[in-house]
Amino acid sequence: MKIIRTYLPNSADNYNYLAYCPTTGVAAAVDPFDADHLISIADDNKLNITQIWVTHEHWDHIKDVNRLKELTSAQVYAPHTCKNAMDADIWLEDGDEVDLSQHHSVKLFLTPGHIAGHGVYLYQDLQQPTDNFILAGDTLFNAGVGNTKSGDVEQLYHSIERLHQLLTEQCQIYVGHDYMVSNLKFTLKHCPTLKAAEQALQAAEAESHDSRPIQRWQDEKSYNLFLRLDSNEVRELTGKDSRIEQFKALRALRDQW
Ligand SMILES: [Zn+2]
């Protein structure tokens, strides 16, 4: 499976994605914000949008779901925990597989925390692990995690801990928003000696929204404080002993920033 990332102007710095099967040209549009924008990218790449994958029900992630469905007749997939907030054709349970084509499928994992109804889509290719990716929605960001204004920070902690078990080192991280630069500035304000964060900030600032480097899980773990619980810098910064208390303290610091 391959993937195209696109930044949505006039959004809340949202990224949308087309995940596609290179053999058949069928594609899934992820969290569609602008149906026309996605259809024009699909046309340019000779792709046919047959599915819509939703990570969660926040307005900026489902804004154009219905319009894109009308225009393409695509089937809408969403976590079953979003049932009260939106319409979908297929409600997904934790671990459910979604077949995009006969060649490629992804798995949905429920990741409550940013909001109770949130899921991530994971693609894993055993032969070609460098192709693996996660569509993380607003659960995980580059150098950060989702806010919990309409969610629960302890649930988010458990969801992020689960990612440590699910993701392989080379898994590519595709996030719901481009917050990389501001998250890295937050990181460096609190941990000014974290070299990996400084290097990632330089690399990110040299690019535009659309050309920001795609990070892998192993990169992300080198500078994302929320993935570095129990490191010396996070223990010192938060003054907490347990992983969950460190996570909660980091989230609180980021909320104030
Ligand atoms: Zn959200």
DSSP secondary structure string for all residues of 56-113: B--HHHHTTHHHHHHHH-PEEEEEGGGTTT---SEEEPTT-EEESSSS-EEEEEE--S
CA of 62 to the centre of ligand 1 (A): 10
Residue type, 85: A
CA of 58 to the centre of ligand 1 (A): 5
Residues 181-207 have a mean pLDDT of 97
CA of 223 to the centre of ligand 1 (A): 23
Helices (H), 167-226: 180-190, 195-205, 217-223
Q: What digits encode the pLDDT tens for the residues 15-45?
A: 999 999 999 999 999 999 999 999 999 999 9
pLDDT tier, 156 (very low <50, low <70, confident <90, very high otherwise): very high
Q: Cα–Cα distances in Å, from 9 out to 12, 28, 55, 137, 210? A: 8, 20, 20, 17, 10
pTM of the entire predicted model = 0.97
Q: What digits encode the pLDDT tens for the residues 109-146?
A: 999 999 999 999 999 998 999 999 999 999 999 999 99
Domain locations in the chain? 2-256
**Biggest alpha carbon distance in the chain?**
53
For residue 237, the model assigns a pLDDT of 97
Residues 228-243 have a mean pLDDT of 97
Q: What digits encode the pLDDT tens for the residues 43-90?
A: 999 999 999 999 999 999 999 999 999 999 999 999 999 999 999 999
Residues 219-242 have a mean pLDDT of 97
pLDDT tier, 173 (very low <50, low <70, confident <90, very high otherwise): very high
**41-66: string of b/e by CB count within 10 Å (b at 16+)?**
bbeeeebebbbbbbbbbbebbbbbbe
CA of 158 to the centre of ligand 1 (A): 18
Cα–Cα distance, 113 to 115 (Å, whole number)? 5
For all residues of the chain together, what is the average pLDDT?
Answer: 97
**Distance from the first to the final alpha carbon of the chain:** 38
Axis crossing angle, helix 153-166 with helix 243-256, rounded to the nearest 10: 120
For residue 257, the model assigns a pLDDT of 87
CA of 152 to the centre of ligand 1 (A): 13
CA of 179 to the centre of ligand 1 (A): 13
Strand 172-174, strand 133-135: pairing = parallel
- Listing DSSP states for 222-242 in one string gives HH-GGG-TTSHHHHHHH---S
CA of 102 to the centre of ligand 1 (A): 31
The share of the chain scoring above pLDDT 70, in percent, equals: 100
> Within 10 A of 209 (CB to CB), how many other CB atoms are there?
16
According to DSSP, the residues that pair with 3 across neighbouring strands are 19
Strand 97-99, strand 105-110: pairing = antiparallel
In this structure, are residues 114 and 157 in contact, taking their beta carbons and an 8 Å threshold? no
Radius of gyration of the chain (CA): 18
Cα–Cα distance, 232 to 93 (Å, whole number)? 37
CA of 31 to the centre of ligand 1 (A): 10
> Within 10 A of 76 (CB to CB), how many other CB atoms are there?
21
Class level of CATH domain 2-256: alpha beta
